[in-house]
Structure 1
Amino acid sequence: MYKNILNTGVQDFILNNLSADILSVSLKKSPFDAVSSSQLAQQLKGHQTLKSKVPSWYGKRNLILPPSLNLEQTSSEITARYKAGLVAGNTLMDLTGGLGVDAYFLSKNFAQVYHCEQDESLSRIAANNFVALGASHIQAIHANGLDVLKGFPEKPLDWVYADPSRRNAQREKVIRLEDYEPNILEHDELIRSSSRNFLLKTSPMLDISEGIRQLSNLREIHMVAVNNEMRELLWWLQPGSQAPVRHIAVNITADTTERFEFTEEELQEAGVATGMPENYLYEPNVALMKSGAFALIGQRYGLRKLHQHTHLYTSGVLLDFPGRRFRVEQVKPYKPGKLGVSKANISIRNFPETVARIRKRNKIADGGDRYLFFVRLVDDSLAVLFTSKA
C-alpha cells in the first residue's frame, strides 16, 4: 500500500512541500498516478506532526507515516529520550511497538532491539522507518509481543519494555492496570522469568499507591512532566530486587530538567511545617504534585505549607524551587465582590469555590501579570494572596 510513497519523485515532492497547506494538497489532483492526493496529504500532515513531536525525524527521506491517530498516540521525542536515559544493555524487547518512536530511541543503548507490533501495516511501516533512520539493529516482528516473548529462545533479555493500550474494546480511555491491553498483571510471571529488567509506561492518571501495591519487585517510579504537563509514569521492575523503591519526579523544559528524588522511608518520616504567608510563595510543578511528597517538599527546601492540605509553600527569602515562584504583595481575607481587581490569573488550593464561580462573583477577567491564589490558611481562614511572578 505504501511502497509507491518511497519512489524518488514522490519523496522529492514530500520534502519540498513540508510546509504546504494540507487541505489544499488533498483537494488538488495528485501529480503521481500511483499515489493519491489523500496519501500525499497524509504524509505531509505526518511530517508536520513530527516537527513538534519527534523533531529529529522531521523531513527525513524515505519515512512512511501512518494515519494521524497512530502519530497522536506515539511517545514524544522528549519523553522517549528520557526513557533512553534509564536503560542500557545488550538486548531489549518492546512488547507494544506501535510506530517505534520509543524503540528507536531506546535502541541507542542496545546491540539488538526487538520491536513487536500486532498491526501488520504499522509493523511494516516501523520496519521501513528503522532502516531509513539507520537503525538496522532493530528487528520489527509482526506478532503479539507476549507470544514472541513466550517463545523467545535467547532469554533472559536485558530489558523488556511495554506501553500497553489504555483504551478498551469500546475505545474508551481506561486508567487501571487491569484494564490495559495487554494486561501486564496477568503476565507478570512470564515477564519476570524472561527479563532482567522491565520498564512499564502507564497513564499519568494511574494512582501511584495502587501501582506500588500491584507491581512486584519495583525499583523506581518516574513521574514525567514536560513543560509542567504530566505525560507518563514509568515503572522500573527488577525480578528479585529487594531494594527500597525510589520515586523520581521530573519536569522537563527547554532550559532545564527539574528533578526531585526520594525513598518510601523518607516520605513516611517527613514532617509537615506550616505557617502564614511570608514574602514568597511556591507552587510545585505537576510532577511533584503527582508524587504526593507534600511534607517532604517543604522539609527538603526549608519551606512552610500554608495549611496541611493547601499544597503551596512560603518563605521570607527567595529560594530555588522546582516549580513556580511568586512574590506575595498582599494577603486579604476572602470577601466576595470586594477584591478591587478586574483582571488576573486565578488559582485555588483547598478552597470551597471553583475558579469559574470566583470569576463570576467578583467579575474578574482572565489574564494579565497579576496572580491571585484563593486558599485556606493554617488558621482555617479563607484568604486571597495577591502575587506576581518572582
Structure 2
Amino acid sequence: MREDELELLLRPEVMEEIGRNADEDPAAYAMRNAGRTDIPVRAIAEQIACRKKAAKKLPRLSTRPLLYTSRALEQASAERVAGYRASQMSGQRAIDLSGGLGIDSSFLAGAFARIDFVERDPLLCRLASHTMQVLERKNVAIQCGDAFAVLDSIPSGILDWIFVDPDRRESGRRRVGLSESSPDVVSGHNELIHKAPGVCIKASPALELSGLKRELPSLSSIIVVSLDRQCRESMLILLKGTAQEKEPERKAVCLHSSGIGEYEVSGREGVERRVTAEPGPCFFEPDPAIIKAGLSAEVAEEFGLEFLNHSVDYLTGGPSEAVFPGRAFRLVALTPYKPKLFRRFLKEHQIFGASIQRRDFPLSPEELRRLYRLKESSSRFLFFSRNAAGEATVYFCLSLRPEGEEAP
C-alpha cells in the first residue's frame, strides 16, 4: 500500500466496496475490475486478501473496518496473544516502541490510562490512527519517529511499562538474535530499564533462551506463549532491581482460540527428569511452549508421568483424568529401529499409513515416508526416537480422541 492509495481507501464508498467483496477471491476481483479508474483496484484487492488472513489472526478485530499492509499484518500479534500479554501489565502510562498496525497498543489501552504509540513508518502511523479511531481507543497518542529518540524525550519516572517488539526482518532477512533486531534492546537495555520499572520484549519463538541473562541483566522472567499448539513468542520481562545473579523464572502459557483448556506452568531450568525403561499404556507430547520453556519435567511431575529417555520430551504413563497440555496417545506397540525388523513390525500391525514424528532421530519424516512407502494418516502415529538406553526406537500410537474430534 502507498500513502496515496490510503487516501483513496479511507473514502466511505471505497470502504464499502471492500466490505461488499470481502468473500471475493482477490485475484478474481482485480481481474474483473481491471481498467477501472474510479476506485483503487489493486489496493482494494490487497485489502481483501489481508482481511482473509486477519480473520484467522484477529477473529474479532477483523470484523471491524480496519486497514492493513501485508507485511505489518504478518508481524502483528495474534489477537488472543496480544490480549494475554496486555493482562500481564498495568499502570497509568506505557509506551509501545514498535507500533506497527497498532494491534498491541489497542489491547494495552485497556490496561493503562495512556499509551504512547511509536512507529517510524509514516504510513503505519496513519493506519494505526485509523485503527484507534475505529476501535475508539482515545487514550492512545501516536508519534511518528525513532523508538529510542522518542523514549529519550520522555522524563524518567513517567512510564510504568515499556513494550517493544523488535523488527526481525530488516533488509529482507529474518533475524532471531536480539542484538540483530531493530531497535537493539541489548545495547539499549540500560536506557530501557532507566525509563520504566517494567519492560516487556516480544522475542522470536526461535530465540535461544539460555544465556539471555548475560545480554539482559534485568531479565526477571521468560514467558513462552503458544496458541493452538503453535509456539508464537517468548515474552522477556525486565524488572528494575532484579538481581544480576538471579536466573529468570520460566513460564509456559498454552492458549487456545476457543479459550477452553488453557494451561500455565512455571519453574526454572535444571529440574531432574525421571526416565523409565518400561513405557506405560499412554504416550504424551507436551505443548510446544512447554518444551521451549524447558518445563516438561514440571508437567511430568504434575501428571505423574515419566520420560522415555533423558534428552527428548516424550512422556509415558497411565491415562490422565485432567486434560493434558499437549497431545495424548494410546501406545499400541514399540520396536527397536532396524530396517528389516521395522518392515516386519509394519506388516504385523498392518500399518500402511501414519503421521510420522521424530525427535533425536537421524532420518527425516520425508525420508522415512519414502523409504517405507507410508501414506499420511490422521489417526495413526509413528514416533521415531530413542529409549531409556539411547537405542533408536519406534513408538506406534493411536490418538486418545475419536477421529475428527478437535482438541481444545
After TM superposition, the score normalised by the length of structure 1 is: 0.92
2:369 corresponds to which residue? 359
User: In the alignment, is the contact (CA less than 8 A) between 1:342 and 1:365 conserved in 2?
Assistant: yes
2:19 corresponds to which residue? 15
User: In the alignment, is the contact (CA less than 8 A) between 1:217 and 1:238 conserved in 2?
Assistant: yes
User: In the alignment, is the contact (CA less than 8 A) between 2:282 and 2:316 conserved in 1?
Assistant: yes
User: In the alignment, is the contact (CA less than 8 A) between 2:93 and 2:158 conserved in 1?
Assistant: no
Matches within 5 A, 1:215-254: 215-242=216-243, 245-253=248-256, 254=258
Cα deviation digits, residues 115-166 of structure 1 (max 9, x gap)? 1000111111111221121011111101112101101147330110000111
Residue 344 (structure 1) aligned with residue 345 (structure 2) = no
1:36 to 31, 35, 40: 40
User: In the alignment, is the contact (CA less than 8 A) between 1:280 and 1:314 conserved in 2?
Assistant: yes
When structure 1 is superposed on structure 2, of 232-241 and 361-370 the one drifting more is: 361-370
1:182 corresponds to which residue? 183
Residue 135 (structure 1) aligned with residue 137 (structure 2) = yes
3-state SS in 2 of match to 1:209: coil
Using the alignment, how far apart are the partners of 2:321 and 2:247 within structure 1?
Answer: 30
Paired residue total: 385
1:313 to 309, 312, 315: 315
| Cα distance, 1:263–1:317 mapped onto 2, change above 3 Å | closer
How far residue 319 of structure 1 moved from its aligned partner, in angstroms, is: 4.9
User: In the alignment, is the contact (CA less than 8 A) between 2:358 and 2:385 conserved in 1?
Assistant: yes
Using the alignment, how far apart are the partners of 2:314 and 2:286 within structure 1?
Answer: 7
3-state SS in 2 of match to 1:270: coil
2:336 corresponds to which residue? 333
User: In the alignment, is the contact (CA less than 8 A) between 1:279 and 1:315 conserved in 2?
Assistant: yes
User: In the alignment, is the contact (CA less than 8 A) between 2:118 and 2:144 conserved in 1?
Assistant: yes
3-state SS in 2 of match to 1:140: strand
- The letter for the 1-side match of 2:381 is Y
Using the alignment, how far apart are the partners of 2:354 and 2:294 within structure 1?
Answer: 28
Residue 45 (structure 1) aligned with residue 64 (structure 2) = no
| Cα distance, 1:174–1:328 mapped onto 2, change above 3 Å | same
User: In the alignment, is the contact (CA less than 8 A) between 1:245 and 1:263 conserved in 2?
Assistant: no
When structure 1 is superposed on structure 2, of 190-199 and 295-304 the one drifting more is: 295-304
- The letter for the 2-side match of 1:36 is P
1:4 to 3, 8, 12: 8
3-state SS in 1 of match to 2:211: helix
1:287 to 286, 289, 295: 289
Residue 92 (structure 1) aligned with residue 114 (structure 2) = no
Residue 79 (structure 1) aligned with residue 81 (structure 2) = yes
- The letter for the 1-side match of 2:387 is L
1:55 corresponds to which residue? 59
Using the alignment, how far apart are the partners of 2:36 and 2:352 within structure 1?
Answer: 58
| Cα distance, 1:374–1:222 mapped onto 2, change above 3 Å | same
3-state SS in 1 of match to 2:225: strand
User: In the alignment, is the contact (CA less than 8 A) between 2:213 and 2:248 conserved in 1?
Assistant: no
| Cα distance, 1:96–1:69 mapped onto 2, change above 3 Å | same
- The letter for the 2-side match of 1:174 is R
3-state SS in 2 of match to 1:121: helix
3-state SS in 2 of match to 1:108: coil
User: In the alignment, is the contact (CA less than 8 A) between 2:354 and 2:381 conserved in 1?
Assistant: yes
| Cα distance, 1:17–1:283 mapped onto 2, change above 3 Å | same
2:403 corresponds to which residue? none
Using the alignment, how far apart are the partners of 1:182 and 1:360 within structure 2?
Answer: 45
Using the alignment, how far apart are the partners of 1:5 and 1:368 within structure 2?
Answer: 44
Cα deviation digits, residues 185-207 of structure 1 (max 9, x gap)? 11112111111210000111111
| Cα distance, 1:384–1:131 mapped onto 2, change above 3 Å | same
User: In the alignment, is the contact (CA less than 8 A) between 1:270 and 1:296 conserved in 2?
Assistant: no
| Cα distance, 1:48–1:382 mapped onto 2, change above 3 Å | closer
How far residue 111 of structure 1 moved from its aligned partner, in angstroms, is: 0.8
CA-based RMSD? 2.2
How far residue 249 of structure 1 moved from its aligned partner, in angstroms, is: 0.7
Using the alignment, how far apart are the partners of 1:352 and 1:28 within structure 2?
Answer: 51
| Cα distance, 1:386–1:238 mapped onto 2, change above 3 Å | same
User: In the alignment, is the contact (CA less than 8 A) between 1:10 and 1:32 conserved in 2?
Assistant: no
2:193 corresponds to which residue? 192
Using the alignment, how far apart are the partners of 1:236 and 1:362 within structure 2?
Answer: 47
* Long gaps (5+) in structure 2: 401-408
* Long gaps (5+) in structure 1: none
- The letter for the 1-side match of 2:242 is S
Using the alignment, how far apart are the partners of 1:27 and 1:357 within structure 2?
Answer: 42
